[in-house]
Structure 1
Amino acid sequence: MNKIYDPKRQEWEALLSRPTQKLGDIEETVNTIFTAVQEKGDEALRTYTQKFDGVQMKNFEVSEQSFNEAESLVSAPLKKAIKQAYENIKCFHKAQRTPAIRVETTPGVECWQEKRPIQKVGLYIPGGTAPLFSTILMLAIPAQLAGCKEIILCSPPDSNGELPPVILYTARLCGITKVFKVGGIQAIAALTFGTKSISKVYKIFGPGNQYVTVAKQLATKYGVAIDMPAGPSELLVVADDTAEPSFVASDLLSQAEHGTDSQVILVSTSKEMLTAVEKDVEHQLQQLPRKEIAKQAIANSKLIFVPTDTDAVELINEYGPEHYIVCVKNTQFYLDNTANAGSVFIGNYTPESAGDYASGTNHTLPTNGYAKQYSGVNLDSFMKSITFQKISEKGMLLLGETIEIMAEAEGLQAHKNAVTLRLEKLKETVN
C-alpha cells in the first residue's frame, strides 16, 4: 500500500482522489445503450445481454418454477442467517417511521405534512463475481415497509441465463415477485423507459459499477429519480494505538475484495500502526480466494499518517467515505466532528461487514465523495412528503391582507385577486 506521511493540505485533493474512470470514457457507451433500449425495447435487452453477459435470453422474467426450485437449493444455515439479517434490517427500518406533522401557523390556518410511498420502484442488484443477495434485503425491506405498490428487481444472469438461487430465495422472502434476468446499463435503461417485459418505474435503487452509476445519473434526465450516485465500494479506517492491527487489516481487505476499482484508506496518528497494518494486510491477503481482485484494489489504496486528531478529522471530512470505521481512544471527538460519511462503525468489535449484512443498518451508501451531500438508503428513500393546508374563514381574515400585500409587491395581480375576492365575500357575510 502507498504510505504517505503528514501530507500538506494543498495535496489533499489529489491524495484523496478515487480510482475512477473519466466520465467521458463511459458516457458514450451509456448513451448508445439507452437509445437502443428506448427504441427497440426487449430486442435491445437481448442484444446487450448477449454482448455483456454471454447468454441468449428468451424470457427475462423469473418463473414461479425457478422460485420454487431455488427454495430447495439454498442451505439451511444460509437461510437461517438471511432470516436473522432480515429481522434486524426490518426492525431498524421500521423504527424510522414518523407520524404526520400538524401545525396551526395562525389561528384558522392549519398546515400538515404526510408521507406517501413512491408507487413504482426498481431495485438493481449487482451480479458478476459476487452476487449481492444482501442488497435485496437492504432495498426490498424498506420498499415493502414504505408500501410501494410495484417493486421490480433486476439482476444480471449467469452464463446459463439464470440467477443464483440465493438471489431468488431472498427476493421471495422479501415479498418480491417481479424479478428480471437483466443487468448493467441495459437494466437501468429498461427501468427508465419500460419495455414489453419490464415496466417503467419512478425511482431506481441499488449500487453497481461505474457504468451503472452513470446510467442511473442519465436516467434522471428522463424523469426517473435515483437513490444516489453509488459506484465502486470504499472504506476509510481511522485508527490509533488502541486499535488491533489485524482487525484493521481485515476491514481494509473486506472492502478491497469487492472489486478492482474499490479503494481503502487507513488514516492514523501512529506511524507504528501504519507499519503493523501494512504487514497484516500482506499476510491476510495471501489467504483470500479473491486475492487477485483485492491486490488490484490495494494498489489504489493508501496508508496516511497525520500528526493530530484534528488533522485526521478534517482530512476524513474532505474525503467523505462511504464506510467509515472509528477505532481510536478519543472516539467522541471523531464522532462529534464527523460531517461527511455514509455509515459509521465504532470500536474494535464493529466490523464494516456487520453493516453489510446483518446488524440492521443499510449498506446502500453514497460513494465517490457523495457522502458530502447524500444520505444512504433509508425508509424515507422510498417515500415522499406531501404538504396539506386548510384555511377557515377566520384564518383567511387574519392572513389575507398579508398575502395581498406580498402578491402586489411581486406584481402578481391574479394572486392578489384570489385572496381579495374571498375577503370581500367574507365581509359581505359579516355585514
Structure 2
Amino acid sequence: MRFPGRHRGRREDGERRRGVPDGEGGDGGRRRRRLDRAKRVPAPIPGCDGPGHRGDRPRRGIRQGSGRHPEAGRDVTGPVLWARVIPWGKDVAIAALESGVETLWVPDDCFESVRELGRVTTVCSRGDLREGRDFRVTRMQGKEDETAILSSSPETIWVVRPEEREVIPLENLVAHRRKIFAVARTPEEVALYRGVLERGVHGIVLEADSPRRMRQMASAARTEAGRVPLASARVTEVTSLGIGDRVCVDTCSLIEGSRGMLVGNSSAGMFLVCAENAPNPYVSPRPFRVNAGAVHSYCRLPGGRTGYLSELSAGSEVLLVNEHGEGEMAAVGRVKVERRPLLLVRAEGPGGASHSVILQNAETIRLVDAAAGTVSLAKLSVGDSVLLAEERAGRHFGVPVEETIREN
C-alpha cells in the first residue's frame, strides 16, 4: 500500500538537486507523471543502429496476463516448436518436453494436468496462449485462405494445416514474411516445412500419436542448426607463446566424434577445435567440454553470428560443428577461465589467406582433419592439414558486414 506524502521530503530534495524548480506541475515542486505522456524512444546510435543491428529490431511486446509470449522456446537457428497433444496423452506430452518443446497445445480440461509437469507454456482456452487472442487458425484449403493471411498484420501468428504437404502457398506466405506455424505429423513434413524457400516457416506444431514419434519429429526440427562450409588448410607455423588465459566451454550436451567449436583469432578463419571426448592415459575424457582457446578468440554462434569466448557464460548458446560442417546448437552450462601455457597455430587456406588460432598447449586439445580424423596439438607439425571455416565479410558486433576489415 502506498501512503500519500510518504518519502516526500526525500523525493523533493532529490528533485531540487537535479534542478527541478519548486512549483513545477503545481504540486510543491513534485512532478506528476501524465497518463497521456509520449513514449520515450532511445535515439539511434550512429554506426551501430540500423538494418540488421539489434537496435533496429522491434522489441518483443509484453502481453497482460500470463506474461508468456507465443514465441517462447524459440531456437535462434530453427523454428518455434509447439506440440499439439489432442487428445491428451501424458506420455506424449512428457516426450515433447524432454525433447526441448516448451509449448503444449492441450484440451481445455487438461490445463491443470499440464501444470503438474513443470513450467510449461500452455495453449488452450484457459492457457497462456489462446486461439483468437494470440493466434489464428486456418486449414489453407484455397486461395481465399492465403489472401486472408496476407491481408492481416505481419505480426499476426497463423497456425496453418496445409493440404497434403502443399508447399507453394507456404512459399508465398514465407516470401511475404508472415508468421506461419505449420502443423506437421511426420518427421518428413518437419523437414519439408523447415526448408521452405531455404528459410523455413516461423514455427512448427508437432502432432504425434506416440512418444517415439514425438521425439523423432522434435529431433528433425532441431537437427542441423546451421551448415558451415569447411575447407582444408595447411599448417605453416606452430609456436609456443607462454602463459595466458584460456577458456574451457562446458556444454549441456555430450559431444560425440569430431564435433567441436569453430574458434579463431579472426572471424575470417575459424578452426574446428574438437571436444575433449577421446581417451587419454593422463586424464579422463570430458565429452561435454571444448577447450576452446585464449579469451580473446572469436567463436561461431547459432544463427551465423560470432562472439568472444570471454563473453560466454552459463545459459549462452554455441554452435557445435562436425567435420562435414553440420551444426547444432548447444547450451553452455559452465565456462572455466584458467592460466595455462598457450600455443599459436597458423595455417594457410585454399585461397592463400593466412589464419591463426591460440590454444592451450596440451595433448588433449585436438584439431580436425577430414582425411586423418583428429590430430593432437602435441603431434601437430608444419605441413599438416586441418579444417577451418573461411569467410570474406567482416564482423560488426558479431554480424557479417561488407566493409574493409583486417585482422592479423
Q: TM-score, normalised by structure 2?
A: 0.25
Which structure has more RCO (C-alpha within 8 Å, separation ≥ 6)? 1
Q: TM-score, normalised by structure 1?
A: 0.24
